[in-house]
Each structure stands twice: as structure tokens, then as C-alpha cells.
Structure 1
Amino acid sequence: MTQASHNPPLAGPSILIASLGILFASLCFGVLPYFARGLADQGMPPHVIAFHRFTLAAVVLSPLLIRHRHRARAILWGLGAGAAMGVGWIGYVAALRSAPVALVGVLYMTYPVFTLLIAWIVFRVKPTLHAIGAAGLIIVAAFVASGPATVGPHILTALLLSLAAPLGFGLGITVLVYRLTGLPPLARIAAVSLGSVLGLLPLIVTAPPSMIVPQESQGWVLLLGIALGTALIPQLVYSICAPIAGAAQTAVIGSIELPTMFAVGLIAFGERISPGQITACLLILLAILISSRDSLHNTPPK
């Protein structure tokens, strides 16, 4: 996701077009596990996969930061948040190698909980009752889907490590809302994407060259898909359409991302969806509907 505006949505056919754009972008974000696990199955380490996902957006959009260099403080905040997101995303990719896509997806969708906690602790923003209620539902959903009684110890460890991703994403959201408002949407994407690349770069320079690039033609297709189809293109579409659609509608339409992850696990990898996972999905969708009443739905690029 990128950002949703606080401004009222525009009237007319543009809202329909923008809504379709949000739907398209969210579906693209939802199929991300297909490309990430495909690259992991070919032997590419999680930190290399994360690096490649953010690199294209950083290369294409970073020149925009030169134009806004007078906003150096905001850019530095974006770089820092991006670095945290990039490093946290390693846990997400690593979990996909051993845990079902649905489980990893449910835990990734806990990012609103981390967002509220960081906003409250760091930026002294008291959460609303709607937000607290939604966060409670998300916590219940995560426990239902991935509690110790549901998954084995080896998967549980991977799932706990995957929480680094929603933690980093929650930090990115709070930084975007409270520190990056001076930057236009595309410059925000540029700063966060570049920060992700810079945060992962120390791990990349120590990796063997054979692990940095795919060794088969299928790997290059997957690499292009994860960088272009789940990052740059949907991020651009989202950044254009979200302010037109409005915060609440963007949040509701964007909730299709989680069911899409479930579909990827079922169709692409033949994973069985348990009743607990279905229950967790419904609880999270309900939480999104509740929290859409609030205006805090600005999100950095995923």
C-alpha cells in the first residue's frame, strides 16, 4: 500500500476508476507470496529477495528526492523507516519458506496493532475506541490462526520472526503520517524504497554473487514479477487512486489483499485452509471495516 488521503473523496466517475485502481493494486500486493516463495524455492536467500523487490522502485523514483532535497529532514525519516521495513521484510520471506501462506498473511495483517502502539508510545497519539476494538480483533485472529495449539514448534518460530515485517510496516505508517507530510506521494515512495535498499545493502555485499541473481530463466521472470508486479506498478497506481477514493473506501477495498493471499496458498501451492485460518481472515476483515471509520489509513509502500 501507499497512502490514503484525509481529504473527502471526489465525486463522479473518477471514484469508480480510482476504486478499480485500488482493487488492482491490492490484488497485486496479495499475489506477492507466489513470487517470494518461488524465488526462495530456487535457493535465493530472503534478504536478497527483499532487496530485489524494493530496488526497481528505488531506482525509478529516487531522482524525485533531488527535487525535494530542501525537505532533507523528512527524507531522512523516510529512509530510516524504509530501512526498518526492508530488514523486517526478511522475516516475512523467510516464514514463507516453511509456513503456509495463509498463516504468514494473517500475521502480516497485524501491522495495525503495531501502528497503534508505535503512534501511542513514540508520537503520543491516543488510539480511538474503533482502533482499539479493531486491534483486539486482529490479536484474536492472529492467535486463532497461529497459536501454539495450532502449529508446530518449528513453524511457530518462523511465524514469530515474521512479525518483524508488520512491526517495520507499522513504523513506516507512523513515520509517513507524522513526519513525511511535507513530501508528495511519489517522493514518499522513493524515500521509503531507497531506505529499504540501503538497509539491506550491507547484507547484499556479503552474499555470494551466485545467490544475488537467478540462475534460471524462470527466476528472472519471478524477479521481474516481484519488483514490477507487486511493487512499482501497484505502488504507483495506489498512490494516484487512494486520495481520490478516500481513506475509508481505500481501506475496505484494500482488504481483498488477505483473501488473495489465501487463494495463492490454495491454488498455487495446494495448501489446505483450516477453519481457524478462515475465522482469522473474517476477523481481520471485520477489523478493517471497523477501523475504516477512522482517518488514519495512510500507509507507505509495501
Structure 2
Amino acid sequence: MTLIRSLPLRAPRLTPPMATLAVIAACVSFGMVPLFARLLQDAGMSAASIGFFRYASSALVMFPFLPLAREKRRDALRMLGAGIMMGIGWVSYLEALETQSVAMVGLVYMTYPVFALLLAWMLARQTPTLRAWGGCALVLAAALMIFEGGAGGGTGGGASWALVLSLPAPIMFALIIVVLTCLTPRLTSMEQLACAMVGCVIGLAPLVALTDPAAFVPRDGGVWLTLLAMGLVTALIPQMVYTIAAPKIGPGRSSAAGAVELPTMIALGWLAFGETVGVREIAASGLVLAAILLVPPIAAPRPQPA
């Protein structure tokens, strides 16, 4: 453990355009979560169990980087708390995927840029610019376009209520973006990631404790391989990239660039699950890409950790 902590893991110097591309690449990987989630749900695993294993593998790898220095404890607790809330919110996202289409759940999730701007305003005193609000408006327009196009997998009030219950996921993801980019300047990228992943596991642990053991422990080797692939492709690797790149461009552009998950999920729903993709979905993807270009980078000051 001491050897791992002593490795020279300095974040690379990224220009705003490079950091934006890195965030986009990471979020494309995040957008692949529904593919793995559906496979694991079909294998009988519960939403809480899928989330637990997704984050537990990353937490295990990142555990040696947990910050222990006294001067870092406040920032570490902030990141840990945000991770706990994210873990809980992610369960609502998986639950919604069981009854709704990937595109429909994606449109609710894509409201997180708005929450990120509001939370950055409230918690970090970063006043949103007109361009930032314009980018959020484009993302919301894209989401509403899909909603009005009937991309949902359910009908009636039950479907709408299920989508409302999935709101904790975008809110909590917005929170972790703000904490990562604005409120933990004393932590290195690896320390931030370690706190976030451990926090997610802590948040999911009580839910897993209430899960039927048959829906928690996979009994098939193929399911274990799917869990491992999910952990690497949608959590550990993209989380590392995101944690390094997001502070370079701030919460506004990070959340706008992250909206690339929406066209990713639309494409995934079409290719993997046979969901209908029409003019509305294509136009919505174009609005999301326009939002990424519109929102300016605002990097939070990051003093050297003590």
C-alpha cells in the first residue's frame, strides 16, 4: 500500500479542448451502463447489487489512495459524502431501466447539467453565464424532444411516476460534479476518485443488505465476467479520466460535455435493444452536441495539495 501511494501519479496537463474531449470519451463509456445493466438484470441481479459490484471493484483498486493527511480530511469527507449520495441515486436509475426504455431514462438523466449549474451557484458561488444557461436549455430541449416523441417504454401515469422516481440519479451526479470540480481543491485526482468510489460502496451497502442473497451473488461465470467488464468499461477507467479532466473545465462544461451520454444511450437502445430511433432522436443528439460547444470552460482554482 505504501508503495502504491508513493507512485508519481501526477495528472497530465490538459488544455480545455483536450479536457473536454476526455470528459466526452469518459461519458460515452458511462452511457454504456444500460447495456451491462440489462444483461445483469436479466440474469436475476438486483439494481442495488449491480451498483455495488460496479463501484466495489473500483473502490478496491483505489482504496490505497484514500487521503489520510489531517489537512485533507474536510475535502475527503465532502467527496465521500457526495459518493454516498451518488451510490444511492444510481439505484433509482437502474430501477427505472427495468420498466422504461433506455432513451426515456436517458432523457431524465440528462437534466443533470441544470442541477449542476444550480448546485455550483448554491454551493460554490459560481454564477452561471448566459452561455451556460443556453447550453442547459439545449440539453433540456433535446430531452423534451425525445419525451414528446414517445420514446418511453411505458404508458400512463405509472410510467411518468417511474421517471420522476429516477430524478435522484441526475441530482446526485450533478452534486458529485460540483464537489469534484469546485469543493475539493486539496485532493489529488486519485484521492478524489478513491473517496468517491468508497462513498458509493458505503451508500449502497445498506440497500445490498436488504437484498435477497439469490439476487446479490452471481452463480454463473459469465455473469462475473459481465460484472468485471462493467466495472472496467463504465466505472474505473472512465472515472479516472473524468476525475482528471473535469476540474480543468469546471462544472458547467463538464456537465454539458457529459450530455453526450444521451446520444450514446439512444444509439445503444437502437442497436442493442431494438428501440425506435427517428428524426426527433437524431435532432436531439445534434442539440446535445451544440450544447457541448456552447458552454464555456470555467476551471476552478486548484492549489497544490499540502
TM-score by length of 1: 0.82
Give the counterpart letter for 2:83 in structure 1: G
- What is the aligned counterpart of 1:263 among 255, 264, 267? 267
Q: What's the CA shift for 1:238?
A: 4.1
Structure number with greater CO (CA < 8 Å, separation at least 6) is 1
CA contact (8 A) 2:142 2:284 kept: yes
Aligned partners of 1:138, 1:120: CA distance in 2, in Å? 19
Aligned partners of 2:184, 2:259: CA distance in 1, in Å? 24
Alignment partner of 1:143 is 2:147: no
**Count of matched residue positions in the alignment of Structure 1 and Structure 2:** 286
Please give the per-residue CA displacement for 1:159-189, whole angstroms capped at 9, x wherever unaligned: 2222211100111111222321110001101
1:104–1:150 CA distance, 2 compared to 1 (3 A): closer
Alignment of 1:1-302 (within 5 A): 9=15, 24-68=25-69, 70-147=71-148, 151=152, 152-153=155-156, 154-239=158-243, 256-291=260-295, 293-295=296-298
Q: CA RMSD in A?
A: 3.1
CA contact (8 A) 2:45 2:215 kept: yes
| Gap runs ≥5 in structure 1 | none
Aligned partners of 1:121, 1:20: CA distance in 2, in Å? 27
Q: What's the CA shift for 1:282?
A: 2.2
Aligned partners of 1:92, 1:158: CA distance in 2, in Å? 10
1:25–1:118 CA distance, 2 compared to 1 (3 A): closer
CA contact (8 A) 1:54 1:193 kept: yes
Aligned partners of 1:263, 1:149: CA distance in 2, in Å? 16
Please give the per-residue CA displacement for 1:130-149, whole angstroms capped at 9, x wherever unaligned: 11111222222222222597
Aligned partners of 1:202, 1:137: CA distance in 2, in Å? 38
CA contact (8 A) 1:251 1:297 kept: no
Moved more, 71-80 or 125-134: 125-134
CA contact (8 A) 2:107 2:144 kept: no
1:166–1:252 CA distance, 2 compared to 1 (3 A): closer
1:60–1:178 CA distance, 2 compared to 1 (3 A): same
CA contact (8 A) 2:79 2:196 kept: yes
Q: What's the CA shift for 1:30?
A: 2.4
Give the counterpart letter for 2:191 in structure 1: A
Q: What's the CA shift for 1:272?
A: 1.1
Give the counterpart letter for 1:295 in structure 2: I
| Gap runs ≥5 in structure 2 | 1-10, 302-306
Identity between Structure 1 and Structure 2 (%)? 40
Please give the per-residue CA displacement for 1:245-272, whole angstroms capped at 9, x wherever unaligned: x679988876654322222111111111
Aligned partners of 1:127, 1:267: CA distance in 2, in Å? 37
Aligned partners of 1:102, 1:241: CA distance in 2, in Å? 27
